[in-house]
Chains A and B, each alone.
Chain A
Amino acid sequence: DAGVIQSPRHEVTEMGQEVTLRCKPISGHDYLFWYRQTMMRGLELLIYFNNNVPIDDSGMPEDRFSAKMPNASFSTLKIQPSEPRDSAVYFCASSFETTRETQYFGPGTRLLVL
């Protein structure tokens, strides 16, 4: 079975541009998570969905960040406008149910905002 798929794997953009990161979770998983990893703050949960519905977006840093999950097999994380401090690795992860099941991570998108 294919793992979590993320695209693009690398993104370089200029400050002020819109950035869209994409994620396809593992088929059948009910939960989808977006994380951000930086040297300064480590791994942080940004938002997660259950059955396509956002459950907790308290980790979203500010209004410039938005996430959607239009169907069970696709999610996007959008940054508009992007800033240099948004440079990080963004991970998408998915799982079945949350109590015992582990979250399986995608390969990540390495974002650099110049």
Chain B
Amino acid sequence: AQKITQTQPGMFVQEKEAVTLDCTYDTSDQSYGLFWYKQPSSGEMIFLIYQGSYDEQNATEGRYSLNFQKARKSANLVISASQLGDSAMYFCAMREGYNTGKLIFGQGTTLQVKP
């Protein structure tokens, strides 16, 4: 069965520094997708970045990049130049199977950015 694991319940980072949030996954599918979402204290879920299993390049979106290591089954989120507004819960998710809508979410990592 597919599974997403986020081993860091909480992280701290100094403002303007980079931080890596870990995500490992388990799947027997050859085709899958990996997502990162941000959930600030206000509660909404904000899409950050997507990586397809066949994408050869690591995905990047502004200050967000996804360090995709397929052999290790890891999809870590890297946030560069952290800002106070980055303080939030971050969820890694995997699309289960090909052409299905099912996203499986990890338990999340709470990131706090210190001034």
Interface residues of A (CB under 8 A from B): 31, 33, 42-45, 48, 50, 55-56, 89, 91, 93, 95, 97-100, 102-108, 110
A56 CB to nearest B CB, Å: 7
Residues A56 and B35 in contact, CB atoms below 8 Å apart? no
14 A-B pairs with CB atoms under 8 Å apart are A33-B101, A33-B103, A45-B102, A48-B101, A50-B101, A55-B101, A89-B43, A93-B45, A95-B101, A102-B47, A102-B50, A103-B103, A105-B44, A107-B43
Determine the distance from Cα of A99 to Cα of B99 in the docked complex, in whole angstroms. 5
B103 lies within 8 A of A100 (CB):
no
- Contact A56 to B43, CB < 8 A, known contacts A43-B91, A99-B33, A100-B50: no
B26 to chain A, nearest CB (A): 16
- Residues in B lying within 8 Å of A, measured CB to CB: 33, 35, 37, 43-47, 50, 52, 91, 93, 95, 98-108
Q: Across chains A and B, which 10 residue pairs bring their CB atoms closest together, nearest first?
A: A105-B45, A43-B105, A48-B101, A98-B101, A102-B47, A107-B44, A31-B101, A99-B99, A42-B107, A108-B43
How far is B95's CA from A99's CA once the two chains are assembled, in angstroms? 8
Q: Which residues of B contact A102 (CB under 8 A)?
A: 35, 47, 50
Partner of A48, one of B33, B35, B99, B102: B102
Chain B positions within 8 Å of A105 at CB level: 37, 44-47
Q: Are B105 and A91 in contact (CB under 8 A)?
A: no
CB-based contact A91/B45 at 8 Å: yes
Q: At the interface, is chain A mostly helix, strand, loop or mixed?
A: strand
Minimum C-beta distance from B67 to chain A (A): 19
CB of A42 within 8 A of CB of B108, answer yes
A56 touching B101, Cβ below 8 Å: yes
Chain A residues whose C-beta falls within 8 Å of the C-beta of B101 in the assembled complex: 31, 33, 45, 48, 50, 55-56, 95, 98, 103
